[in-house]
Structure 1
Amino acid sequence: MEEKSLEELFIVEPDFCPACGAILALPTSGPLIKCKVCNFNIRIEVLLGHTTTSSYQFNHQGVYSSSKKGPQGEEEEEEEYGQRDPHRECSKCGHMGMSYTTMQLRSADEGQTIFYLCPKCRHREVENS
């Protein structure tokens, strides 16, 4: 059985080491690109002409709309921001069921910060837990 060389272990983008998968740093001098993890070497001419592209896809948990019929039959639009807490009452309009999202803004041993949004009047509240 034929043994594969290190170069054939991974199918990777040109910016990564095919032997161990580490990011390859561009050389500061000389024609060789050396992996700092496993000492794999590749000549820079092999990578000339290659382009690397990347794209980012964000999971937006932003503002969502839902419409409901009001007491007179007209549609009222409510906006939600993340999850909904059905037991949280808006301090401005008294609406039950505020939307919320959380973030870790302080150090790791501190609690998280909770941002509430009233879907009816758009009043915002912040709670440090």
Structure 2
Amino acid sequence: MSTSGPFSSTTAFCVKCGSILPLLQDFGSVKCYACAAIYDADSFSNIKFSYTIPFNTVSTLNNDNILNLDNPDGPVVERKCPKCGSDRMSYATLQLRSADEGQTVFYTCVSCKFKETENS
């Protein structure tokens, strides 16, 4: 980087103030929004970025794991099943609605595999 300062940086951070720098434009230089330090495009020629996006594995349901009563689908809570009357149900939660609304809880009966949902 062409400007010296209290910070040392090999990525897209300003060495004067430590702020993240904007993306390099077609103008040939980058100007820090916070302290107005200017860096020429050659300062960024050796920087390489690599991104890794991890994904969860998808489990598939089949008759073997649907009917397996010894292996619940998730954590088990004391909740009465409206279908068979069992007092053990497993649950999973997802945020299906807006971020400012509660999550949706999916319950599965450990005995009969009856499923119900609750918006919390």
- TM, length-normalised to structure 1: 0.57
**1:39-54 correspondence runs (5 A):** 39-54=36-51
- Pairing of 1:11-90 with structure 2 (within 5 A): 11-13=9-11, 15-18=12-15, 19-29=17-27, 31-57=28-54, 78-81=71-74, 83-84=75-76, 86-90=77-81
Q: Is contact 1:112-1:128 (8 Å) kept?
A: yes
SS at structure 1 position matched to 2:42 = helix
Aligned to 2:119: 128
Shift of 1:43: 0.9
Could you list the runs of 4 or more consecutive aligned residues of structure 1 that deviate by over 6 angstroms after TM superposition? none
Name the structure with the higher strand share.
1
- Which structure 1 segments of 5+ residues have no match? 64-74
Q: Supply the AA of the counterpart residue of 1:22.
A: I
SS in 2 for 1:46: helix
**Contact 2:95/2:103 (CA < 8 Å) preserved in 1?**
yes
Whether 2:102 is the aligned partner of 1:105: answer no
Which amino acid counterpart does residue 25 of structure 2 have in structure 1? P
TM-score, structure 2 length as denominator?
0.60
Q: Which one-letter code corresponds to 2:107 in the other structure?
A: Y
Q: CA RMSD in A?
A: 3.3
Aligned-partner Cα distance in 2 for 1:121–1:12: 59
Compared with structure 1, are the counterparts of its residues 87 and 79 closer, same or farther at alpha carbon in structure 2 (3 Å cutoff)?
closer
Q: Which amino acid aligns with 2:47?
A: H
* 1:58-78 residue CA offsets vs partner (Å, 9 max, x unmatched): 6x5x87xxxxxxxxxxx8552
The percent of aligned pairs where both chains have the same amino acid is: 25
* Of 7, 20, 25, the match for 1:9: 7
Tell me the distance in 2 between the aligned counterparts of 1:23 and 1:79.
Answer: 49
The structure whose RCO (Cα within 8 Å, separation 6+) is larger is 2
